[in-house]
Structure 1
Amino acid sequence: MTSTTSPSALDTVALVESIADLVCEHYVFPDAARQLADLVRRRSTEGAYRTESAEELAEAVTADLRSVNGDLHLGLKYHAQPVPTERGAAVLAAVRREFDTFLNGVPRLELLDHGVAVLEIGPKLFPLDWAAQPLAAALSLVAPARALILDLRRNTGGDPNTVAFVCGYLLDSRTHLNTMFSRQGEVGAQSWTPPFVPGARFGGSKPLYVLTSGDTFSGGEELAYDLQQLGRAEVVGETTRGGAHPREGWTLHPQLELSVPIARAVNPISGTNWEGVGVQPDVPCDAKEALDRALGLAVARLA
């Protein structure tokens, strides 16, 4: 691997101490948090993080943070470009660049044979204050379709509020999607579909298929999981990556951001979530074949 030197010197001892403190204070599972804090401190003492490369440090620390329970939202993220110092701003800046590149999160909308529409949402479910207008336009356009294929194969996460907004177009009435629980086990915010959506709804009765891949993650998984648990959609494709915990980010260095899950989502139907296991497809197949499989299912059902 090519060594990447950060724009400012790495004080790995101080960085690891900050990581340990933040994980111990904020990680959703307190017992695991203490174990992880002890682990990275011990590894630092052993010299495991002795490097001048911010990228190498991020890889080493992330591997250790995920070694206890495999939480894919937990890690030290390297950013090639210097990032803002405000809490949560590092990821937001990177996501904004994606939003501007991928047609505001709606890179594909097409009418296929037999009145079946396909709508791709990705590579993120972008923050709702950015994405509401393009998503409302796209979802209104597909509303008259006889069946809808929602393509999430390249979707790697996003805003739970945007998930709820999209679901609002695919259901007929206001629906409870998830409840958040804090690290103390306290009930937090609930996620519901909005009582009103701008434009036309596709609605809750016409055939709906959701495409997934082994890359589908986080918010993309939530959208697939919520619709599947409600019995609203058939999921077609591959088992997803398995990241269900909402996270926050702390910039610890111009190129390093610590990502820490701060809560856990519980689905009111399953009583659990997709953490560590992924969303299991109703129709398993290679992700490359998922669109053709879903189209075949839709046409057969419409016939």
Structure 2
Amino acid sequence: MTALDTDRIVTETAKLIADHYVFPDIAEQLSALLADRLAAGHYGAAGTAEELGALVTEDLQSVNGDRHLRLQYHAETVPAEPGGAVLAEITREADDSMNGVPLVRRLDGGVALLELAPIIFPMQLKDGATGETLRAALNLVACAEALIIDLRRTRGGSPDTVACICGYLLDESTHVNTTYWRDGDSYAQSWSPAYVPGPRFGGSKPLYVLTSGSSFSGAEELAYDLQQLGRAVVVGERSRGGAHPREGYTVHPHLEVTVPTGRSVNPVSGTDWEGVGVRPDIEVPAAEALERAHREALTALNATA
């Protein structure tokens, strides 16, 4: 990578952040920081796109620790259109993960286990195949007496899909989240759907959500939304703490600037999980979370019986 390439990439990254990052004051600080570091020759040590991405990302996350804010390296060529890198990557991952539903299982005592990983995919991905798979899995567990949703390996997801999942776990359309967008200075509410295809698990049976220190972004939203509504008991470890929806911009064939352009505002708490993660109701090591949630579910079912 030439010095000219580095100058252009870092300068363009700084401009994208200044124009779009959800917090304008932080955006100004970050843009100035990148300019200063570039002028000081800090990025000249990077001999590859991957090394440059790591150096810039370290600086981008040094001000407020936003883990969605990155100059992300991709081994595969990054599509030029905004968000194209993510779309290409998650399409490959959907193919390798049963469309994001790697496990549906019946446990002892009438308890169902549903794992969503590695991502809660957009419903329309792969011409709607991901949505069909997810709906089928949710229909399948609807008859269970209690449900455990495993998000311990889930590192993100679509807010629209999160709302759809909530539709199967609640009895009526419910306000689950609000997003503030810097571009347009506007708010958009997210509601669970009033109608879902097929049977729903509903809003009264015992529900548990498993989290780990790796659970991130859209996975955290699902856990947080259900927890704040009082609908689910979260079991496991505190999650990573990334609440900002982001947009991706290609600045090099293998580098994508990921810029958070909005922030979540939960209708119950008035805040989100950014930087602090989702705190479990029952805190145990992630490896023990399933066993603990299963015990809790059986206890709850025995109590109602």
Superposition TM-score tier, normalisation by shorter sequence? over 0.9
Offset at 1:184?
A: 7.2
- Residue of structure 1 equivalent to 2:286: 287
Amino acid at match of 2:210: L
Contact (CA 8 Å) 1:10, 1:52: kept in 2 or not?
no
1:190 Cα deviation from its structure 2 partner: 1.0
Q: Does 1:296 align with 2:291?
A: no
Partner residue in 1 for 2:62:
67
- Distance in 2 separating the partners of 1:263 and 1:185: 11
- Identity across matched positions, percent: 60
- Structure 1 CA distance, aligned partners of 2:179 and 2:157? 16
The corresponding residue for 1:12 is 6
Q: Which residue of 2 aligns with 1:23?
A: 17
| Stretches (4+) displaced over 4 A | none
Aligned counterpart, 2:106 = 111
1:142 and 1:239 mapped to 2: Cα distance? Answer: 26
What amino acid is aligned across from residue 52 of structure 1 in structure 2?
G
Q: Secondary structure at the match of 2:80?
A: coil
Deviations 1:28-58 (A, max 9, x none): 0000000000001100111111122101000
1:3 matched to which residue of 2? none
Q: Which consecutive unaligned segments of at least 5 residues does structure 1 have?
A: 1-5
Instruction: Report if aligned partners of 2:183, 2:261 keep a CA contact under 8 Å in 1.
Output: no
State the distance in 1 between where 2:256 and 2:248 align.
6
Q: Which runs of 5+ in 2 are unaligned?
A: none
User: 1:54 corresponds to which residue?
Assistant: 49
Aligned position for 2:34: 40
Give, in whole Å, the separation in 2 of the partners of 1:294 and 1:76. 38
Deviations 1:56-110 (A, max 9, x none): 0000000000000000000100001112111110111011110000000000000
Q: Deviation of residue 132 (structure 1)? A: 1.5
Per-residue CA deviation, residues 154-182 of structure 1 (Å, 9 max, x unaligned), is 11101100000101000000000111112
Distance 2:68 2:221 in 1: 14
User: CA offset at residue 113 of structure 1?
Assistant: 0.1
- Report the Cα offset of residue 189 of structure 1: 1.5
Structural RMSD (CA): 1.3
Q: CA deviation at 1:203?
A: 0.2
SS in 2 for 1:11: helix
TM-score (norm 1): 0.96
CA contact (8 A) 1:26 1:261 kept: yes
Instruction: Number of aligned residue pairs: give it.
Output: 297
2:75 aligns to what SS in structure 1?
Answer: coil
Q: 1: CA distance between counterparts of 2:87 and 2:71?
A: 16
The Cα shift of 1:188 comes to 2.0
Query: Following TM superposition, by how much is the alpha carbon of 1:206 offset from its aligned partner in structure 2, in angstroms?
Result: 0.2
